[in-house]
Amino acid sequence: MFTGIIEEIGTIRAVRHGANSSQVTVAVHRILEDVKVGDSINTNGVCLTVTSFGNDYFTLDVMPETLRRTNFATLMPGSTVNLERALRLADRLGGHLVSGHIDGTGKIGQKWAEDNAVWFNILADPGLLRYIVEKGSVALDGISLTVASVDRQSFGVSLIPHTQGVTTLMNKKPGDLLNIECDLIAKYIEKLTSSGDHGSKIDMDFLAKNNFL
C-alpha cells in the first residue's frame, strides 16, 4: 500500500522490450534508502517490484497486463516518473490509501493556471468516472489528489504549488495519458452493495426493513 505522496521524481534510464513485456531501469537519487530486492515501489502509480538496484538506479519487470492498463508503453529513456516507497504501518497517511493497481488511463483535456493553482481537466471513460466523486480522492500517475469537479465525460483536479514542484504533472500537456487509480473504498462499497452470489443486495428496501431509515 501507498499514500500517493511522492518522494522523488526518477528518470527512465533504459527500457528493454520483450514480446509483450518490458524491463525498465530508473535512475534515482534518494528513493533507494533501505530498499532491497523484492520491495515494492510505486512508479507512476503502478506498484512494481524491485528486481535489482545499484547506487543510483533500480530495475523493474513490467508485465503485459501493466502495459495494457497504463501509460507505461509511452515511457522511453529520459521520461520522468513519480516514485513512492511502500507505506509503513507507523507512517502518517498524508494522502489516501493507494494500492498501486491502475484502473485505466485518462487523457488531459485542458490545463490552465488560476492564481497559485494549476488546473487539469481529465477525460476518462464512464467505467472510471463512476468511481470519481467531487471532493473525493483519486491517484493520477501515483499522486494523491482531491477531485474538484466531475461530469459525464471528465473530472478536474487543482494542484497546489508544492505538488507542482515535486511531481511530474507540470511536464504534462493536453493529450498526454495519465494512470488513474480510483478510490479503493468506492470500489469495495460497490461490490458489497450489489447483488452477490447469495442474492443479497443493500438498497432502500433493505435499509427500511432493518430499521436504518
Mean pLDDT of the chain: 93
Say what the pTM is.
0.89
DSSP state, 15?
A: E
Domain boundary among 35, 50, 85: 85
Domain boundary among 56, 85, 114: 85
What local confidence, expressed as pLDDT, does residue 202 receive?
67
Q: Is the pLDDT of residue 207 over 80?
A: no
Say if 211 falls within a structural domain.
no
State the total domains in the chain.
Answer: 2
Other Cβ atoms within 10 Å of 30 Cβ, number? 9
Enumerate residues 6+ apart whose C-beta is below 8 A from 42.
2, 48, 82, 83, 84, 85, 86, 98, 100, 142
User: Residue 25: which domain range?
Assistant: 8-85
Lowest mean pLDDT among 31-45, 138-152, 177-191: 177-191
Other Cβ atoms within 10 Å of 206 Cβ, number? 13
What local confidence, expressed as pLDDT, does residue 199 receive?
53
Give the CA radius of gyration of the chain. 19
